[in-house]
Amino acid sequence: MALSFTNQGIAGAPVMATVTLTLLLFATTVVGSIDCSTVTSLIAACSSFVSFGSPEPSLGTPCCNGVVTLYNVAADSVDNRRSACGCLMGLITTYNPNATAIARLPGLCGVSLGFTIDPNVDCRIIP
């Protein structure tokens, strides 16, 4: 699933607010541990950065909005953190040449997910 946004200035603000709100509502309705399709959809707006290394995301961009929402969901429980970790490790495997870009996302977006995005991390022991 890929999300596409165009630079619409102020006219695009209502659309962005609607998309962000929809993601927030979807993320908060997840029961139990978060699934990988949710993780993938939350960071879908980061696909250019993950694939090409640019543009670098910053606070307030769709990419960072998704990463911050992922942070909020992952912070909700140990199960969510462990599940998010496993999903992100799967993405690192899938996008191996760009694993560093995936690992940099939380820091660029001003959050810590409570674990390091690194293929050597054992997600089962995250507190």
pLDDT band at 2 (very low <50, low <70, confident <90, very high): very low
- What percent of the chain is predicted at pLDDT more than 70? 75
Q: Is residue 55 part of a domain?
A: yes
Residue 85 near residue 121, CB atoms below 8 Å? yes
Contacts 24+ apart (CB under 8 A), 92-101: 92/117, 92/118, 92/119, 93/119, 95/50, 95/51, 98/50, 98/51, 98/53, 101/49, 101/50, 101/53
pLDDT band at 20 (very low <50, low <70, confident <90, very high): very low
pLDDT tens, position by position, 72-82: 999 989 999 99
E strands of 28-77, at which residues? Answer: none
Q: Residue 97 belongs to what H/E stretch? A: none
pTM over the 0.85 mark: no
Q: Is residue 80 part of a domain?
A: yes
Domain around 102: 33-125
Q: Is residue 13 part of a domain?
A: no
Q: Is residue 99 part of a domain?
A: yes
Alpha-carbon torsion 49, 5, 12, 71, what sign?
negative
- Helices 99-108 and 62-74 pack at an angle, to 10 degrees, of 80
Q: What is the mean pLDDT of residues 21-32?
A: 40
Q: What is the mean pLDDT of residues 25-50?
A: 77
pLDDT tens, position by position, 85-108: 999 999 888 877 788 899 999 999
CA distance 109 to 66: 9
The CATH number given to whatever domain includes residue 51 is: 1.10.110.10
